[in-house]
């Protein structure tokens, strides 16, 4: 299987200003000169991490979803990040995996951040989304999910292969808890023997909570390939399939793991 090139965009979001955020991400995506195949945006990239779900939500026909569709087609890339979505009277913190042809997958955030009252404004998801591109399997998660390793467990399948190769987490993770963020990103990479991509925002949000970013790309043994603090940044990197396969072949520890299923 071939390698996979990904771009991480760490940005200072405009608080609850969808038009400004979409214009900003337009510019940042247009600034990517290298050929890339997957672009990763932060959690709630069009609004910031707001509890104003009823006021800010859009449907799957809304402007931010349509922007993702148009931009993915224009650049011939996959774009992923989460939005506030209303569906059948419920509100979701929903990650969208948008393909260049307009098809998409969705993942509704499973673990809502009780400390901020997220469960009072958003419904929980109950299904994982493991997307596929060029033979790579990619598990998609949102922010607080990172604290719950069972939800990210990379179980060995009946064919003997791991369930996924890359774990992505999109976040609005505050600087005051940056130590757990960085430690958990490395832990998830090591225990699941996968590449780990964490894309966080920077700057103060509308509640004056500061985010230091610390967006990261970590290899399957926990080595930090990329980490950026405090500043906006766009980083592009090619994930090596050979590196991943060689590591798994040399140290196939996941075959010895406890067997269980998420019901």
Per the CB < 8 A criterion, the answer to whether 198 and 171 are in contact is: yes
Active-site entry in 118, 143, 175, 194: 143
Tokens of 13: 């979001």
Active-site entry in 37, 43, 118, 175: 43
Beta bridge pairs of residue 129: 140
Query: φ and ψ at 57, to 5 degrees?
Result: -65, 150
109 belongs to the catalytic site? yes
Pairing of strands 210-218, 202-204: antiparallel
Q: How far apart are CA 135 and CA 176, in angstroms?
A: 38
143 belongs to the catalytic site? yes
Would you give the DSSP letter of residue 257? S
If phi over 0 gives left and psi between -120 and 50 gives alpha, with beta otherwise, what is residue 128?
Answer: beta
43 belongs to the catalytic site? yes
What angle (nearest 5°) sits at the alpha carbon of residue 81, between those of residues 120 and 189?
95
CA atoms within 13 A on the CB side of 229: 5
Residues serving a catalytic function are 43, 109, 143
């Amino acid at each position: 299987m071939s390698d996979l090139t990904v771009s991480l965009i760490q940005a200072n979001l405009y608080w609850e200003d969808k038009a400004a955020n979409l214009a900003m991400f337009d510019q940042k995506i247009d600034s990517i000169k290298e050929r890339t195949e997957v672009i990763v945006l932060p959690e709630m990239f069009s609004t910031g991490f707001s509890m104003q779900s009823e006021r800010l939500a859009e449907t799957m026909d809304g402007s931010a979803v349509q922007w993702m569709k148009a931009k993915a087609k224009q650049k011939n890339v996959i774009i992923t990040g989460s939005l506030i979505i209303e569906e059948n009277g419920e509100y979701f913190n929903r990650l969208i995996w948008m393909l260049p042809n307009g098809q998409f997958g969705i993942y509704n955030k499973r673990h809502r951040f009780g400390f901020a009252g997220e469960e009072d404004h958003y419904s929980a998801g109950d299904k994982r989304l493991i997307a596929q591109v060029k033979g790579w399997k990619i598990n998609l998660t949102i922010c607080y999910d990172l604290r719950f390793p069972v939800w990210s467990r990379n179980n060995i399948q009946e064919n003997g292969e791991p369930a996924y190769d890359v774990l992505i987490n999109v976040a609005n993770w505050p600087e005051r808890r940056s130590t757990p963020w960085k430690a958990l990103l490395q832990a998830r990479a090591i225990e699941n023997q996968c590449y780990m991509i964490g894309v966080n925002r920077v700057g103060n949000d509308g509640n004056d909570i500061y985010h230091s970013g610390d967006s990261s790309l970590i290899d399957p043994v926990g080595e930090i390939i990329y980490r950026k603090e405090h500043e906006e940044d766009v980083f592009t990197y090619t994930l090596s399939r050979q590196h991943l396969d060689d590591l798994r072949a040399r140290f196939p520890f996941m075959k010895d793991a406890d067997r269980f299923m998420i019901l």
